[in-house]
Amino acid sequence: MNWITKVLKFGEKIKTAINKKRPSKEDIENSDWTTCCKGPVLKKELEQNLWVCELCNKHHRINCRQRFDIVFGKNNYEILKTPSPQDDPLNWMDSKPYKERLKTARKKTGQESAIMIIKTKIKNINVTAGAFDFAFIGGSVGAAEGEAIIYGIQHAIDNKQPFILFTASGGMRMFESLIALSQMTRVTLAINELKKNNLPYIVVLTDPTAGGTTASFGMLGDITFAEPGAIVAFAGKRVIQATVKEELPADFQTSEYVQEKCGFIDSVIERKDLSEKISSILSILLKKNSDIISELNETSEDTRTLTKAAS
């Protein structure tokens, strides 16, 4: 063995030793700790405060069950079985097969798709609700996710209930190409049906909501709420900065910024207040709806027919 081989082998040993000390992404995800403004924080402590940092008010990302437990009460809901379209319709393969990615995401989240649909009650109002798990391939939308939302909307229509959607999505899933993109139209058409039935559609934008989700059903709510500090965007900040070649504000594309500068958000609501705010707005919307109907009933025979047709 010459001296070059010896030096190379020694270098390899150092590299292996350094890599061993570095915890993998999976190690961090499975540990009892996560990080926030002041460094490591115990997940248990964060959970007691609804996964919101007491120091900086960062609203950490949560999964569907955690979301439903917080807004509707622990296990106070029934998970609905949504349709399962064919996996990987395009037989997609890039750095690894799409089928592999689906398998890993399912194992990681315990969900069949990025979206979970439930039926539940909020302050005695029956509702259908859906939430995204960003950990499932970045909350991206493919055929299964589109079908899940449409199923949820149809359930709301069949049972004359409002539909509430908590978004956390990077946009449409490019592994399904046009099939994914078509979900923007399909879900939008379903929302139109909900509106034709005079049923409220409430959207809660959570961190992050981007791409085609923002460009379609994320922006079609009768009322649009957002959690503090959530990224709400179409294209990412770096892409825009590189295009316009200008320094963008630090709070660019946060929910507060979007509310103030664009007006796409009605109100930025703290996680602890979401349940209360959603139930009050639903009471107002549903009461208003019935008031209009009774008002119309009192006016004329023609409007009575109209109301009957609309209900």
Residues that bind Zn ion (CB under 5 A): 36-37, 53, 55-56, 58
* Residue 192 C-beta-side C-alpha neighbours within 13 Å: 7
- What's the closest the beta carbon of residue 255 comes to Zn ion, in angstroms? 17
- What's the closest the beta carbon of residue 231 comes to Zn ion, in angstroms? 16
* Residue 143 C-beta-side C-alpha neighbours within 13 Å: 14
- What's the closest the beta carbon of residue 55 comes to Zn ion, in angstroms? 5
Phi, psi of 77 (to 5 degrees): -165, 160
Q: Give the whole-angstrom CA distance, residue 24 versus residue 28.
A: 6
- What's the closest the beta carbon of residue 52 comes to Zn ion, in angstroms? 9
Comparison of 53 and 125: residue with beta carbon closer to Zn ion: 53
Comparison of 28 and 56: residue with beta carbon closer to Zn ion: 56
Closest residue (Cβ) to Zn ion? 53
- What's the closest the beta carbon of residue 131 comes to Zn ion, in angstroms? 23
Q: In the 3-class helix/strand/coil scheme, how is 104-128 assigned residue by residue? A: HHHHHHCCCCCEEEEEEEECCEEEE
Comparison of 53 and 70: residue with beta carbon closer to Zn ion: 53
Comparison of 60 and 101: residue with beta carbon closer to Zn ion: 60
- What's the closest the beta carbon of residue 54 comes to Zn ion, in angstroms? 8
Sign of the C-alpha dihedral, residues 85, 153, 267, 55? negative
Q: Give the whole-angstrom CA distance, residue 247 versus residue 27.
A: 36
Comparison of 53 and 179: residue with beta carbon closer to Zn ion: 53
Comparison of 39 and 263: residue with beta carbon closer to Zn ion: 39
* Residue 128 C-beta-side C-alpha neighbours within 13 Å: 25
